Chains A and B, each alone.
Chain A
């Protein structure tokens, strides 16, 4: 990228920073590029055993019996585990970091007790002297199943007479338990105004139904975990996770031991995108370690990662929009059913919080259905639910614009949400940048340049809210004036450096003088998951506060050295000085060298739960070409515009924007769980689960828009997720523009694009 590219970024904040907004080398860079960083699968220990997991070949079956005797008798096998090895502590509700579930469901997803609910569902596990023996032992475990009809889509699951996944699951209808056993876990509504009245006032109405398929986050590092259960009852787990405290707390619930006995050390993480918030192999490794007294490591294969972790759901969405002839939307209705997978908890709730949130709507109705199907329990995936919702909404809006003869950006600007807009799901926006993003798109050279002959062009905008939650940070000042910063947010996107930059900014020291570490659960205060676009926002805030603590103490220390009132001192650019006496001046480094003699070391600390989250809007402009004989879509040009509040480290922000765009491109064009008649995934390899390669992608142009979030000291908004929301509808709109056909299904495979004309 050239400097000219950066200059196109729109900086609307008017505060000057020294460190924030620069592009330093990341602290973990050298270890990562030289292969020295320690990932979960690298973990080794004396006497390490290897665990493997037996998985269900059926999408839906009763488990009649499990006989492990032959496996246990195999030479080299040290232990076998099944669901019966979980302690019987009764059922309750448990916190999963971003969500809650029932303990029974959480437990059954880790090792099935009575039913196998998807192909790949874990049934039993073996610990052995090496992975080959463990694998051989799996083949000796005899499981008797009674196969049942699989239920694979929301339409099937909701139809009368559908095979039922859970005898104990009854539908929650608008918050009330109906007592009716069904695959629909819940139906909820958000209502604003009167949609019937709104539709009756409309000059034009668009109504359409959209379908999307199950897709996976596609993180390169499979799930892994090593557990050592010591004879004194302490459990130590090393694993790849987005939330070491979620692992600790879930293990406590699952295994019935107090959190104080559990220590979770997060290893470096090779991608997560939400999929590494839930736990899978860690409790199994813990049970096997308890049985053997040895450390047990389990590493999933790619097939297991596809079939036995948590993808994001397929969905069935109906959008109805009404508008006046001037483009004013008079009413909007979204009907969304999403696959939860085997246990309740699809992201349909989040989808409902996003589907209409870009727009100021007088009348809106959102219906959400959480539906269980015989697929892996869904997990978070980058703005979970929002891309599905936007695929419908942003296409319907383009259809509406076309019908009215309006420019698709103009119709969005006409209805755009601004400060003070109440979302249909309740919250009122504070300062947001939706309008600024749309204006930056409209004014961008990409949009201002006519598309090439034969190409199609599409645009779309998407929204993702952020979460705050708990974060902690400790700072220890070293005698050379550098600082050791410890925090608990596992780093999936360069966050330790962005967090360190918060502290460096406050103290006026170079970020190279900060040594950030992501530490284990015994070593730092409770820190919630790396998710919800919260990490740089919330843990960054904790670092800001911890650095303020160090700053205050440094000023007080200097005041005591000089015997002056601390109120008379200030600290700027790493120098402590008197406001009144120009003779009194000392650098932070000089102070650090005197700490021991002047009262001891200085440590700063902070634990925060910030509420001032600022949602983020992201828009795309996409040009495509379509081979009209094969249906193959080529992305010719792609521009991503996002309001990020304040880019702490612009390179990482651009990386997030490009990464979200690429995942969205994969989701749009080729990615899907291709299920056969028996409900088995036919393409559980990276060969056949077609994520885009570098040869399938254009340069992703990025434009950072900075509309400062008033709820953060530097104006930060969470930037990790909103960028995956607009690609699927923007690409669909571009393909529609190129072919003249409406795209109602994802993915837009060559065959599907060709068929869309029939």
Chain B
């Protein structure tokens, strides 16, 4: 019978030290909503001898905003704190699309966006949204801290660039600037308790009736959540309207490399990429023009 040790880290340094000393067999745990399930079903990708609680580390519980630094989301901040936060509501309302979508009410009391990123599921519901918000992850390891764009964190299904002796400290979303609107939507056959068949996270900045910046990111259509550069170039510099949005949606469909499985065929998923990207961009434009 396999026993797993439990350690409670109080500081970033302490957590890193435990990870470094565990020969790659330690797993940081924030809400544990993915990790505990994976340990219970003995997921071979989660071969842990030690589970390190990181919920008591102050930096991982930070949720703060300033105009020049933007929003800092500690890696262990649960979803319910995010969607109830006044700064999030005021400056990053589209983040709530994901934070309120992940799990049910009880799960949202534990699950964190940091955990969602570290879990690196192709279907992670917050990752395209964090990408759309130009998120940057801060990692801490034995040699100090480093920063990585969220869109570069995931390297494969359940695989990240985060070292086995590193932890995710926080995610920073820069100040989105004026005329910004974003949206994350996913398609599921049911209305709750499901994994995205396709997810689309998008953002736009609009000035003078033109797209000045944009992001399009998709979930569940490749080994990792992906960005769609062709969608961005279809939008930026163009006048706001259906034409560029349709071009961007078509680009999303082209960029998707989905598999066929029990959640949908590859062909159906590609089709949904077009539909969801278009719908999300329309909402993002509406939000940008309506202020929220």
Contacts and interface: CB of A to CB of B under 8 A. Distances in A.
A632 B189 contact: yes
A749 interface: yes
Interface stretch (A5-13, A349-357, A692-700): A692-700
A696 B191 CA distance: 6
Contact of A132 (B1, B262, B264, B268): B1
Given A632-B189, A670-B189, A695-B190, A754 B195 contact: no
A688 to B, nearest CB: 6
Interface in A648-691: 669-670, 674, 682-683, 687-688, 690
B65 interface: no
Interface string B192-223: 11110100000000000000000000000000
A65 interface: no
A560 interface: no
B271 A754 contact: yes
A179 to B, nearest CB: 41
A130 B2 CA distance: 13
B262 A683 contact: yes
Given A629-B275, A630-B275, A670 B262 contact: no
A21 interface: no
Interface string A622-640: 0000000110100000000
Given A682-B262, A688-B262, A690-B190, A630 B272 contact: yes
B190 A693 contact: yes
* Residue of B190, B197, B272 with most chain A CB atoms under a 10 A cut-off: B190
Given A136-B1, A630-B275, A754 B268 contact: yes
Interface residues of B, number: 20
A750 interface: yes
Nearest to B198: A630
Contact of B193 (A76, A132, A629, A687): A687
Identify whether the interface residues of A are mostly helix, strand, loop, or mixed.
loop
Given A630-B272, A751-B268, A696 B192 contact: yes
A674 B275 contact: no
Interface residues of A, number: 25
Contacts of B194: 687, 690
Contacts of A136: 1-2
Contacts of B64: none
A547 interface: no
B263 interface: yes
B265 interface: yes
B1 A690 contact: no
B64 to A, nearest CB: 34
A133 to B, nearest CB: 6
B190 A751 contact: no
B270 to A, nearest CB: 12
Nearest to B263: A688
B261 interface: yes
Contacts of B271: 754
A133 B194 CA distance: 33
Contacts of B191: 693, 695-696
A629 B2 CA distance: 49
Interface string B252-284: 000000000111110010011001000000000
A512 B274 CA distance: 61
A392 B192 CA distance: 30
A132 B3 CA distance: 11
Contact of A696 (B1, B190, B268): B190
Contacts of A630: 187, 272, 275
A215 to B, nearest CB: 14
Nearest to B104: A693
B272 A674 contact: no
A682 B261 contact: yes
Contacts of B193: 687, 693
A462 to B, nearest CB: 25
Nearest to A694: B192
Interface in B161-201: 187, 189-195, 197
A156 to B, nearest CB: 20
Contacts of B2: 136
B190 A687 contact: no
A751 B265 contact: yes
A108 B103 CA distance: 41
Given A136-B2, A669-B189, A696-B191, 10 more contacts: A630-B275, A632-B187, A632-B189, A687-B194, A687-B195, A688-B262, A692-B190, A693-B190, A695-B190, A696-B190
Q: Which 6 A-B pairs have the closest CB atoms?
A: A674-B262, A695-B191, A751-B268, A695-B192, A682-B262, A132-B1
Interface of B: 1-2, 187, 189-195, 197, 261-265, 268, 271-272, 275
11 contacts: A130-B1, A630-B187, A682-B262, A683-B262, A688-B263, A690-B190, A693-B191, A696-B190, A696-B192, A750-B187, A751-B264
